[in-house]
Amino acid sequence: MGQKTFNAIVIGLLAVLAIVLAATAYFAGLRGAASTGEGEGEEAIIVTQPPVVEEASQRAASRGATPEGEPTNAAGALPPETGPAGTAESKPEEQATPLTTAVPGEAGRVSLRDPASLSIGLEGIASGLRTPVGMGAAGDGSGRLFVLEKAGIIRIVQGGSVLRRPFLDLTDRVGSGGSEQGLLGIAFHPNYAQNGQFFVNYTDRQGHTVISRFLVSDDPNLADAASETRVMSVEQPASNHNGGHLAFGPDDYLYIGLGDGGGAGDVYGNAQNGQTLLGSMLRIDVDELPYRIPPDNPFVGDPAVLDEIWAYGLRNPWRYSFDRVTGDLYIGDVGQNAYEEVNFQPATSRGGENYGWPIMEGFHCYREPGSCDPSGLVPPVAEYSHTGANCSVTGGYIYRGQAFPALEGVYFFGDFCSGRIWGLAPTSEGGWQASELLQVDISIASFGQDEAGELYIADMRGGMIFRLVAQ
């Protein structure tokens, strides 16, 4: 063999080897992009069997936009691809976020269960929604979920599908330009099946909070947009910290959570000011409009505090709920820069609690680190820090369904940014125990509970509704 022939063979072998190495690197890169969400500017894959609309939703979410390619007519009609989706996938393994619980104290009358023993997942039931931020159930035996879209539309999820026609379209009066503005809360009257009344919380075109009552029409899947009766309007000094949630308590009174008015650090001085409704939990009787003050509200007759106030010292009680078995109240109060918290009020409470903001953030002094006076303040039962991409607590519900007995009596809540979900329950010693159970690649805007006590999660970024399941 001549030298030239030998050199040609060597060069050829080297070329083949280079091609093999390049192909290996290319396919490894594809696998890496699929598992980390990198490549082509796409988000990590969330659902295993997404419909066409969900794929568009994920592409839009990666650009910080709402789904494209959907109708934008006044009725807000959806395309037909709005049926069940797949399951939410866990994020890559990350170090769990420590969650601090309160010292022993009154734990209410809930089941004593160790959340660390649980394994949970999320099962997609509906997709194609536009920026879903809340949910409610009518309690009329229909099994429907009513989903709030931030821009001002209420949609019905029934049998795993989103009905094309909205239940109610309020886009003509809702102001949703700010990230914390829009149609934010819904609560159905305890006698909805008989009187057809429900209540919503939204920010108007001026950015102020409006609580209104509406009526359902003769069609159970269509509300009467012209039936609005305003219950209350609250001026908001800023676009954030509006609260937004509504819930009827076991006493059939309406509880309204309002944030401190926005800005940062309670700049307007509202949360400890009894002469404003901001930074408080309100309790009113809406059986006679616009509303009446319950005679047993804690500050009735106290000139220093408004009669509507049930509790105060809250920064932004975005989501809260009553345990349907015990009547205990759980409040997810969004923190400032360091800590998120869950507050607990037993059903035996007569109101009047001061949850501490802005004196405290979680268990910590806020304005005077290590030197504030916590006397008279009610600390949270759990807190977690802003490590690990955490940013904003989303309060949840106690599980009271029948499908997953292992979850009975556990309070589930999550973080909007990190996608973490925790379980919280009292201990036999009267304290609390919590455990991080799951981390998923979704934006947890709200939990919801249906008539059967099953729990759901709204993914604001992906436009999906998931059911929480035991594994």
- Residue 40 domain flag: no
> What tens digit of pLDDT does each residue of 386-411 get?
999 999 999 999 999 999 999 999 99
Residues of the chain with confidence (pLDDT) below 70: 1-87, 89-96, 103-112
Q: What pLDDT score was predicted for residue 367?
A: 87
- Residue 32 domain flag: no
The model carries a pTM of: 0.81
CB 155 within 8 A of CB 149: yes
Q: Domain of residue 385: give its range.
A: 55-470
Q: What Rg value do the Cα atoms of the chain yield, rounded?
A: 25
Residue by residue, DSSP assigns 386-421 as S-TT---EEEEEE---SS-GGGTT-EEEEETTT-EE
Q: How far is CA 302 from each of CA 101, 305, 309, 317, 438, rounded to the nearest angstrom?
A: 33, 6, 11, 24, 45
- Residue 225 domain flag: yes
In total, how many domains does the chain have? 1
Q: What pLDDT score was predicted for residue 396?
A: 98
- Residue 200 domain flag: yes
102 burial type by CB count under 10 A (0-12 exposed, 13-18 middle, 19+ buried): buried
- Residue 8 domain flag: no
Q: What pLDDT score was predicted for residue 97?
A: 74
Q: What pLDDT score was predicted for residue 100?
A: 77
Query: What's the DSSP call for residue 271?
Result: T
| Domain CATH number, residue 230 | 2.120.10.30
Rounded to 5 degrees, φ, ψ at 215 are -120, 145
Q: What pLDDT score was predicted for residue 258?
A: 98
- Residue 464 domain flag: yes
- Residue 28 domain flag: no
- Residue 42 domain flag: no
